[in-house]
A and B are shown apart, each in its own frame.
Chain A
Amino acid sequence: MPYIIITIFLAVALALQIMVGSVPISFLAFPLNLILALLWAVVMISLWKTRRKSFFVDFMLSRGATISSIVLFLGFCLVVGITGERSLVSTWMFAFIMLYLQTVLLFVILRGWRAQTATGARLGAVRWRFLLNHAGLLLAVSSAFWGAPDTEELRIRAVQSLPVREAFTIDGTYEVLPFEITLDEFSVETYSNGVPSMYEALVNVDGENVILKVNQPYGLSFGRDIYLVGYESMQDGYSCILQIVYEPWKYAALAGVIMMLAGAFMLFVCGPRRRNDDD
């Protein structure tokens, strides 16, 4: 049975891909993505509350659903890994696989949460580990998935003591910044063989003096950070490449990552569950 459902599911994704092309990511920008995500969550949770015995809930909680969601995700990553085609992540197949994974995760979390509140202390640690790992993964995956349309990346070339407002997106579209950026000072340290070891820029962003280094971005506003990504030496001084990344969903992703780190720590401490403890 799971094979039939998954085949139909992937066939629909493939048909969509052929008919309308890749997922119109920018169309799904805020607030549409948030509305859809909430709608999905509300529908799934109400199905769990009211139709627990339904075929849909039963299927999502089955072993087949768990295993197939991992296998599909694994298979997809293998294809990306072998072909090196990053653009595959904007196909409907990937969107469907990720939605399927999130749905399976949500249902097992709901069931795990009920078990945690019902059985109390005996299975405590292992249940918490389960919840941290699964809820952390769900949070990280869903904020990357639903947050993708809102993520923006701009590149700016700043020349010493010349205020700039122009920025370019990844696909080369020109944009005007709502504020000015000026490169005030730039310094490079090199090893004895001339290879750069460290570089640093003193930048004025919207009237504020900011020090930028590789691995040391500066937070401009909610979800918006500015990075120093490279430099070029010119006849009289330097020009540096700055990058502004806007990722409003990054805090949710970070929360998910922290939960998974805690879950992984418990994976190490508690080790495998004994066989007879299985559900």
Chain B
Amino acid sequence: MIDIMGWNIFIWFGVAAVLLSAVGAVASLCANDHWSESSLRYRRRRGIAITSSFSALLVLAAFIALLWVDLGRPPLRTMGETRLWYSFFAFFAGLFTYIRWRYRWILSYSTILATVFILINIFRPEIHDQTLMPALQSPWFIPHVTVYMFSYSFLGCAFLLSLVGLFTTKNNVMSAADTLVYIGMAFLTFGMLSGALWAKEAWGHYWSWDPKETWALVTWLSYMLYIHLRLSGRTSRRMLCLLLIFSFLCLQMCWWGVNYLPTASDSVHVYNR
């Protein structure tokens, strides 16, 4: 294997992606809400925002592809590798939301979110090149992990919006959060159910109350509660934002918190020890 490949060169890709994404975030912020959407100045800034955010996405995609080739297996195993996908999907979620709903703050949130995870990977990378154990060699492996990372990034954006929602009275914050939660929830469901189907194939049972499974269910139910409270429309904005924050904390527990639980030793989901 070539030495300059893999995580050694991540710093260049990571910094480039963060800078490009930051340019996109600033450009979208500079397009004032009061400007006409057809005006030249609005379209020009929106064009810059989309192009440079998309470039950031491509830069990370290129690194993921290089890493994949370098490792000779899909980079979906260690926490460092899932953080990489998370930043990738955070860029994607932000760009998607910006293109579809023109919500001009969202690119800043997704940039911050992705930057945090890129920085963790630069300063504290888990570069253990562990080989893939037999149980993980399944066609379910890639979809199961990627849909979860995709969902986490949308729910991460919803979390940032809920922080904003605690201090603002603008109504469109909650409806943007709804959309992000619905997308996140759809992929959370894909992740959980693909996990159940895979578990039946690998271990014989759809569900076995493994710590990771239990926390995935906690997360799912917590967002489910948010959706139902929103539908019945009688809960205060403050409560809803607090619920989104709580849900996101449960998600963190599910994602990496369970590894530090005393019960983690009997979890089938702990691979990188």
A binds B: yes
Q: Do A195 and B222 touch (CB < 8 A)?
A: no
A81 within 8 A of B: yes
Query: Which of B183, B204, B228 sits near A153, CB closer than 8 Å?
Result: B204
Which B residues are in CB contact (< 8 Å) with A198? 134, 137
Chain A contact-residue range equals: 35 or more
CB < 8 Å A-B pair total: 126
Q: Do B231 and A81 touch (CB < 8 A)?
A: no
Residue of B nearest to A87 (CB): B209
With A74-B221, A268-B183, A273-B231: A199-B134 Cβ-Cβ less than 8 Å: yes
B118 within 8 A of A: no
Query: Which of B189, B202, B225, B261 sits near A74, CB closer than 8 Å?
Result: B225
Write out, one digit per residue, whether chain B residues 203-246 have a CB within 8 A of any chain A CB (1) or not (0): 11111110100110110011011001111111000000000000
Q: Do B204 and A272 touch (CB < 8 A)?
A: no
Query: Which of A73, A214, A227, A245 sits near B137, CB closer than 8 Å?
Result: A214
Q: How far is the CB of B268 from chain A (nearest CB, A)?
A: 11
Chain B contact-residue range equals: 35 or more
A275 within 8 A of B: yes
Residue of A nearest to B230 (CB): A272
Query: Which of A67, A144, A229 sits near B228, CB closer than 8 Å?
Result: A67
Q: How far, in whole Å, are A196 and B203 apart by their CA atoms in the complex? A: 18
With A229-B203, A272-B178, A272-B179: A264-B218 Cβ-Cβ less than 8 Å: no
Q: How far, in whole Å, are A278 and B234 apart by their CA atoms in the complex? A: 12
Q: How far is the CB of A163 from chain B (nearest CB, A)?
A: 23
Q: Do B205 and A245 touch (CB < 8 A)?
A: yes
Which B residues are in CB contact (< 8 Å) with A216? 201
A86 within 8 A of B: yes
Q: How far is the CB of B193 from chain A (nearest CB, A)?
A: 5
Residue of A nearest to B267 (CB): A84
Q: Do A197 and B134 touch (CB < 8 A)?
A: yes
Query: Which of B140, B182, B232 sits near A63, CB closer than 8 Å?
Result: B232
Would you mind naming 18 contact pairs between A and B with Cβ atoms under 8 Å apart?
Answer: A67-B232, A70-B221, A70-B225, A70-B228, A74-B221, A74-B222, A80-B214, A81-B215, A153-B205, A197-B131, A214-B135, A243-B204, A250-B200, A257-B206, A264-B185, A267-B183, A268-B182, A272-B175
Known contacts A195-B131, A271-B179; 4 further A-B pairs (Cβ under 8 A): A70-B228, A86-B208, A215-B202, A261-B193
Interface residues of B (CB under 8 A from A): 131-135, 137-138, 140, 175, 178-179, 181-183, 185-187, 189-190, 193, 196-198, 200-209, 211, 214-215, 217-218, 221-222, 224-225, 228-234, 253, 261-263
